[in-house]
Structure 1
């Protein structure tokens, strides 16, 4: 899994922006505080200067007047600089503390958070957003670790079976059941290939790769896919013609394959597939009469390597990734995939946006 998906981007703002002029912003408060800090010393300096000029007004000592005025100006300027620096330092103190907290987080546990000052300004909001981003990064890191652990476990299971079969074949090379052992080993290899292939598909989907799309007839694609299969139970298809979607053929076919494979594993006596058009949407439903999906597990069944105790096992041939891939492909196409209500068994519903009318076809009509 990858992190893409997206924290809040903080953009630099130029002078005169809304933040610069906002009454509650830190930058807008720096100037009033600086003036408040320097106003009393400057006022005192002005009073002293006025008194000195009044006393020396009738005295022809221009050099003394200039010297006194220069000293007073120097003192006033120094006090002003000191006051402004103090006010700016006070205003930027929370930013420096936030920077120090972020520096301490480098390479540390993502469970740590930065301190949020109760200043009611941009610094407080920025610290809050940083903590939200850290929370998302922590959750994604935990999900990635769990995914890697699950994938390792899933791969290790067929590898262990393959190793055992090869060891048996080597231990008894003249065994009459050698062919059956090799067939079992080939089944383990096929399962490994399926898991690795599903992992590659998920990696491409997680990367945000956008595959090229074509205008497809969903009903025709469903009928073509069902003709390729040889399910162990009867499979019926009811597809409306002309249900068009903009989709990648290979990925949409994979969604249908995963949905049909799921139904074939759990169906008791029949599988039903229906394709129809609804306002703005193309709908494909795959129904079976198997044990079904409990309402509490209808979202969990689409998680990666999720298995329901009553209906799924590693021995049924599934990788635990089929429905997760199908939902992610549906979302990438602007659609959705969910488990709906059913009187019996499971009912998986795929909804995709209908393709907009082709201007060429409208002109021809």
Structure 2
């Protein structure tokens, strides 16, 4: 998910989650050190990072269709073949080490599709982006972040994050919820190599550039902020800020992050999703599940339909390598199942490091 890069900006995801709740400093994300953020060894028992027993995790994950596997072969009704890949919005070395079958399909693709194509198409588009449209509330709006009724810890964590990235802690009251969400999509653990090492989505786009393969953005880069800023979507925007704000809870070590990376490498996407849902409950209390569900109804389910609509012509042509956040793949409203309902044959392509169940 996520992640972000704004390939990572639209992350799903929620994939980086997990940590230990503790008081956060208001001045900066001091806990997010390279030592805490670096994952150099995969977790042997990732399920141990969850409060749920292993059997309960596996049982909940088993209820999610297509929850195992991140690489899929798509065959259109006319016989055209494409591939679907679940990305992880991170620059971690395990995430960037794409399996050989995936690299081969990227390099031989007729076209690569990603959640967005963040490359500016004109000088005017670049200059518009410099003005950060949609980031701020109107002058004199009178908004106070406390009006959202979220836990005080979340406000503290977000204020600390805004201070750490140069916005200033008081900007929490002046940023639009869409603008705030854009900022929160960038994990503190991505700070250290941002602009130097690409996340996985940007790496795929780089490979496409090297091979001179056209890139299809499945939605406009500014769609999320515009959608969240619409008055009718206030409840969704509140959920977005709450959930991504909860991911700022301080971590004592990299164990939680390592657990999600391990699950991803093993192809256990549904298990990672269950752990993420549990984290939201722990961080946001009784309202956590409802906030998480409201967010996913848009961030995953609705966008899955839109992704397929945007990709359909290329899928009919064949030779498409379609990369979207891994959390977009499983579920009744996941990309795999939605493609099948449209008449496509979608088959999992097992990878060497993935488990087989």
Which TM-score bucket, shorter chain as reference? under 0.3
Higher RCO structure, 1 or 2 (CA under 8 Å, sep 6+): 2
TM-score normalised to structure 2 length: 0.20
TM-score normalised to structure 1 length: 0.20
More helix as a share of residues: 1
Larger Rg: 1
